[in-house]
Structure 1
Amino acid sequence: MPALLPDTAPQRVLAVSNFVYTLGSGLYLTAGVLYFTQAVHLPAGRVGLGLGAAGIVALAVGIAAGHLADRRGARGVYASTLAVQAVATAGFLWADSFWLFVLAVGVASGGKAAGQSSRGPLIRHYGGARPQAFRAYLRAVTNVGISLGALAAGWAVQVGTVPAYRLLVIGNAVAFAASAVPLLRLPPVKPVPASAGPRWAALRDGPYLVLTALDGVMTVQFRVLTVAVPLWLVSATTAPHSLISVLVLLNTVTIVLFQVRAGRGVASPAAGGAAYRRAGVAFLASCSLISLSAGTPAWAAVTLLLVAMAIHTIGELWHAAAGFEVSYALAPQHATGQYLGVFGLGGGLAEAFGPALLISLCITWGRPGWYVVGAMFALTGLAAPPAVRWARRKGVRPAEALPENTVSAAPIAPTVTG
């Protein structure tokens, strides 16, 4: 079990802010789509279209915000993204037409992408000797916050009235705004002068872009639990529908308990590449077991799905640890925000196109599609170690790019050498 509180005051500030933020995220992730379909009465197809468009728009925003955080100071930029998300989320209350919905959700998605990349320099600056380990701790906190938010959202879904859904939206907006308040106690990070490196170095770093693409493919695995498994369980198996909640709980509790521990063994880019490979094998095994749950008695389907989700969650732990290590260790310190913004492109694409891909292969095609998806994950994992070796040979060296007048308040992760 990871320590309840981090060691330093800045880390505790970031953890508190993250916890409050994810309470709001849990509200939206659980019932956001239902708000637009049940309370606003938008057609489900148009809601899906709007969310996909918002995801695409958010891709470019992350890179720009990360670059701005490097040059103008990460604390102010990150706090601003939280304010933008709060305002945009409050705007859901007035999004009573398709185009107003697209505008509000597009701004909210852009703010989320911008926040993820602009937070990166803060985590690196205050994360201690290994900011990747602190990032793993924040992921455990994230799952606690989302779980509690999901419990509150369950009340709104159970009541099912328009006022209940509107209260959910208000709570989401308030949580986003409140998460910016603790940042006032966070010492600012000194901006890096523009002369420290090329303006868009991350977009010129071929090996890092390859790793971004590979991580993006692997990130589709997050939608297996939230999209493919519920639809498969309901349409293709005899397992009780309540098993969906059990599977989500199993996944969440395991991540809270073991994400930090999983990250301890992934302490170098080479270890990150190996963790990607192990994750791919785990996802192949879990997808295969999920496919076998169709056409079996209820007890067998339940057993197969529980075992499959346990294996999938182990793969998720390895995948997350690998992504934290590779994205930070191979990014030069002077352009942390920009590089993490680029790395987030893979996740953004997975979020935009992953659900449609999984539904097409796993649900529409059926059992063979699960094997194809599993093989996709396994092959991606196998490609990661050589891509990491290429990045270490060809990539920008963080120590060489650090300007002399930049002083960090905490030790920085070991630099990557060729």
Structure 2
Amino acid sequence: MPRLMPDTGPQRVLALSNLVFTVGSGLYLTAGVLYFTEAVRLPAGQVGLGLAAAGLFSLAVAVAVGHLADRRGARGVYAATLVVQTPATAAFLWADGFWPFVLVVSVATAAKAAGTAARAPLIRHYGGDRPQEFRAYLRAVTNVGVSVGALGAGWAVQIGTATSYRLLVAGLSVSCAASALVLLALPPVAPAPAAGGGPRRVALRDRPYLLLTALDGVMAVQFKVLTVAVPLWLVGATAAPRWLVSGTMLTCTVIVVAFQVRASRGVDSPAAGGRAYRRAGVAFLLSCALIPLAAGVPGWVAAVVLLGAVVVHTVGELWHAAAGFEVSFALAPERATGQYLGVFGLGAGLAEAFGPGLLIWLCIDWGRPGWYILGALFAVTGLAAPPAVRWARRRQAAVGQGRVLVAAGS
């Protein structure tokens, strides 16, 4: 198990702020779509379209806000994103049509993505010698918070009234405000010095880093496997009991909370990150080969197969997350951490927007062959990561050598 409390006061403030925020996120992640379909009465197709539009809008905002956090100070910018989320999420209560829904969910989603980018310089500054390991700790805390929120969401869904769903939305808004208040105890971080000369959006010109962003985005589709593809496959194609949908998520959560920090300790260099991507691709290939075997067998056999596949998938998820933490931080210059991490989030943002549709088309509409194709896609992506990391390291070394020569000449 990871340690219960971080080493320093600022780390504890960040962890507590993250925990408070993710309890609200757990409410929304578990039942947010149901709020709009059951309480607001929007068609599911419109909800999916609106969420995709919001995801695309958030991509550009994250990069811009990450750059702003570098230049203006990360604590204030990060707190501002939480402040924006507070009324934006509360406005869900008045989104009584498609276009109001698109407007408020776009603002809320963009503010959340921007907050992830703005928080990155804080993690690097207060994360000690290994900010990647502290980021892994925060991911474990995130899973604890989401699990607590999911319990509240389960109550709202079980009651099933408009009032219970509105309380769910109110809880999300309150968690954003409370998280921002907790940040007041965090010492501010001085803005990073601007680089003399050169383009402002350096991350968008770093081709190896962009390639790694794209590869991580393809791999990030795996986060939707357990929340989209597996539940639909379990209910529609297997004889496994339906309550196992919750069992699969609980299994994943427990493994992540217990082992994410430990998995990240061994991924302590960009080269190790590339190898972790490769191992993750193999694990996802194996899990995607196992899941189709749950169809056409007795219910207890299907349950055993699915739980085994989820364990294998979650091991791959540990490696994938550890790899992303390492390469995204280690290959980003400290003066542009927010900007680089905002760019790196583009891949996950695209996976968030288009992953569910891709998984439904491949794994549910196409069926068993689609699972095998998905697994092969993950494996090939993992194999491509180590060469991409080596290219990024060569560029990083060349840029560093160029700065030394410029400094010597001046």
Per the normalisation by structure 1, the TM-score is: 0.95
Q: Distance in 1 between matches of 2:371 and 2:270?
A: 30
Gaps of 5+ in 2: 405-410
Instruction: Show the 5 A alignment for 1:144-183.
Output: 144-183=144-183
The residue identity in structure 2 corresponding to 1:181 is L
Instruction: Show the 5 A alignment for 1:406-417.
Output: none
Note if 1:220 corresponds to 2:221.
yes
The residue identity in structure 1 corresponding to 2:138 is L
Runs of 4+ that moved beyond 4 A: 396-403
Residue number in structure 1 paired with 2:251: 250
Q: Distance in 1 between matches of 2:86 and 2:295?
A: 42
Deviation at 1:400, TM superposition (A): 7.3
Residue number in structure 1 paired with 2:28: 28
Q: Distance in 2 between matches of 1:218 and 1:334?
A: 27
Contact in 2 for aligned 1:334/1:398 (Cα 8 Å):
no
Instruction: Show the 5 A alignment for 1:45-194.
Output: 45-194=45-194
Gaps of 5+ in 1: 404-418
Corresponding residue SS for 2:233: helix
Deviations 1:41-100 (A, max 9, x none): 111110010000000000101100000000000000000000111110001011001100
Residue number in structure 1 paired with 2:335: 334
Contact in 2 for aligned 1:331/1:396 (Cα 8 Å):
no
Deviation at 1:187, TM superposition (A): 1.0
Contact in 2 for aligned 1:332/1:399 (Cα 8 Å):
no
Deviations 1:190-212 (A, max 9, x none): 11233356300000000000000
Q: Distance in 1 between matches of 2:113 and 2:357?
A: 21
Deviations 1:385-406 (A, max 9, x none): 0000000001377977999xxx
Count of aligned pairs between the two proteins? 403
Residue number in structure 1 paired with 2:291: 290
Deviation at 1:299, TM superposition (A): 1.7
Corresponding residue SS for 1:4: coil
Q: Distance in 1 between matches of 2:93 and 2:245?
A: 29
Note if 1:198 corresponds to 2:199.
yes
The residue identity in structure 2 corresponding to 1:65 is V
Contact in 2 for aligned 1:207/1:395 (Cα 8 Å):
no
Larger helix proportion of the pair: 2
Deviations 1:397-417 (A, max 9, x none): 7977999xxxxxxxxxxxxxx
Residue number in structure 2 paired with 1:410: none
What RMSD, in angstroms, separates the aligned Cα atoms of the two structures? 1.4
Contact in 2 for aligned 1:332/1:401 (Cα 8 Å):
no
Deviations 1:352-380 (A, max 9, x none): 00000000000000000000000000000
Q: Distance in 2 between matches of 1:111 and 1:5?
A: 28
Sequence identity percentage: 72
Corresponding residue SS for 2:216: helix
Per the normalisation by structure 2, the TM-score is: 0.96
